[in-house]
Copies of this chain bind each other. A is one copy, B any other.
Amino acid sequence: MQLGFVSAILPDLSLNEVAAFAKAEGFECIEPLCWPKGKAERRYAGVTHIDVVALTQAMAEEIRGRLATAGLAISGLGYYPNPLAPDRAEAEVYIDHLKQVMRAASLLGVSLVNTFIGRDWTRSVDDNWARFREVWKPLVRFAEDNGARIGIENCPMLFSGDEWPGGKNLAYCPAIWRRMFEEISSPSFGLNYDPSHLVWQQIDHIEPLWEFRDRIFHVHAKDCRLDRRRLDQVGVLATPLQYHTPKLPGLGDVDWGRFFSVLSDVGYQGPVCIEVEDRAYEGSLEARKSALRQSARYLRQYLSGEVGA
């Protein structure tokens, strides 16, 4: 496995600066975010480390060269919109940009694009299904045609009242993953597996690694802490941020030792990208860099590879 990070946490740095930091800290890869320029619709979204719309063959080659020199790989390109947004015109914009990201992946020689399924959050899973089929069958075919694989992150995209009740991403639990892969069985369609989202849903965050081993294209290393004291006041019907807090790896309830134990046994050899969404570490650029450094130090005890000098 290769340890890296999601670039969203360093929006104030250019791709070059991100790469320099990654190299200095001994990371082996990065997942650059590829939102369209100027767009920042929610926390952690809207970062453009690669402007895929403007990307030319020449620019792509320059990036490849620069990263190769730094000994860094791109683990995948990241773009996490809501392709099933109720407003179809809005959704179309997301879908078009997602195709642009796939095109850019091809130019950059990167095989993976990470994203969300999306969801009309006001409707049930069943009521979203026809739309899922309609949008995603062609999208996966587009990916296949462009030599890309799609890694769907398993985040429910449900945090507070804004995304209530259903969240903005259908792919949040094993039962739904199973249904998704029965519907679209393409080997280009898989998961960007983040164990922390399963923790607060009270789903075993390790067991699914066995069943979905062939679908795990990418791993996000994020953690979260479920606070029993708060849960005892509001219960699981509350919006999730009322009873849990996203944290750095090692500061939450993910059992990382067991996670990497099983991950290694199912044969996973891909990237593991730290995703920082811990508000206690967001006060400054230095704090955010520090968060990546600390997370890497924590994770390295379960991962081969060198610790950054």
Contacts and interface: CB of A to CB of B under 8 A. Distances in A.
Interface of A: 124, 126, 156, 158, 161, 164-167, 172-175, 198, 200-204, 207, 210, 225, 228-229, 231-238, 245, 247, 250-252, 257-258, 260-262, 264-265, 267, 278, 280-281, 287, 290-291, 293-294, 297-298, 300-307
A124 B164 contact: yes
B261 A252 contact: yes
A305 B290 contact: yes
Given A231-B202, A300-B297, A301-B298, A265 B237 contact: no
Contacts of A267: 280
A251 B259 CA distance: 8
B281 A264 contact: yes
A204 B232 contact: yes
Contacts of A173: 233-235, 237-238
Q: Which one of A207, A236, A247, A267 has the highest number of Cβ atoms from chain B below 10 Å of its Cβ?
A: A236
Contacts of A260: 251
A279 B188 CA distance: 28
Contacts of A306: 293
A225 B257 CA distance: 10
A302 B251 contact: yes
Nearest to A230: B175
Contacts of A236: 200-202, 236
Given A156-B237, A237-B167, A280 B264 contact: yes
A290 B304 contact: yes
A254 to B, nearest CB: 10
Q: Which one of A232, A267, A298 has the highest number of Cβ atoms from chain B below 10 Å of its Cβ?
A: A232
25 contacts: A124-B161, A126-B161, A156-B237, A166-B237, A173-B234, A174-B232, A175-B234, A198-B235, A202-B202, A203-B231, A203-B232, A203-B234, A203-B235, A245-B261, A245-B265, A247-B264, A247-B265, A250-B301, A250-B302, A251-B257, A251-B302, A252-B261, A264-B281, A290-B304, A294-B302
